[in-house]
Amino acid sequence: MPDLSGRAASKAPSPRRIPVARRATAWLAWWVVLMSLWVILDDSIALDELLAGAGAAALAALLAELAGYQAATRLRPRAEWLGRALTLPGQVARDTVTVFAALYRKLARGEEPASGFRALPVRYGDDSMEGKTRRALLVGGQSVAPNTFVLGIDGEAEVMIVHQLVVSSGPQEPSS
């Protein structure tokens, strides 16, 4: 049937050729991370719960790999970036105390927290897959703790714009 829109028919883009072994490795990496998260959050090693977690992690890993394939993106983290992840539990604990203290002051004394926006210095980097992965980890890592939420990164000014429920004093260096 002819194209009645008057536009030239365009060919659909050909699917990317990614080796099956690489996609299987990416799926396995997602599964390990998600299953680990399940075990940490569920706090049970009962067989039925582990099986449920394995199934949920397998499905979520499949969807994560499929989304990455469809979006034509690949995560390319470096080992040294993951070292900064070890500081996240301390940051979450510290921010949780800060947020609950602000909640207590609000409920007990009616004091509003000194919330606001901050511009934190950050190295933007290039537009390679490695640079995009680093920025995604920066945004995710800074937004994990309950006091800070990343709104975006300004590449020209090389700053990360965040909102804090309780504005911290002094410079706060995000992961670079």
What is the pLDDT, as a whole number, of residue 8?
Answer: 45
- Residues above pLDDT 70, as percent of the chain: 81
Mean pLDDT of the chain: 81
Global pTM reads 0.57
Q: In Å, how far from its chain's centre is CA 30?
A: 13
- What are 127-148's pLDDT values in tens digits? 887 788 788 888 888 888 899 9
Average pLDDT over residues 170-174: 57
Q: Are 38 and 53 in contact (CB under 8 A)?
A: yes
Radius of gyration, CA atoms only, the chain: 22
Q: Using pLDDT thresholds of 50, 70 and 90, give the confidence band for residue 172.
A: low
DSSP 3-state assignment of 28?
Answer: helix
Residue 117 token pair: 């926006």
Query: Is the four-CA dihedral 26, 32, 38, 41 of positive or negative sign?
Result: negative
Q: Are 122 and 158 in contact (CB under 8 A)?
A: yes
User: Closest Cα to residue 54, out of 40, 36, 29, 27?
Assistant: 36
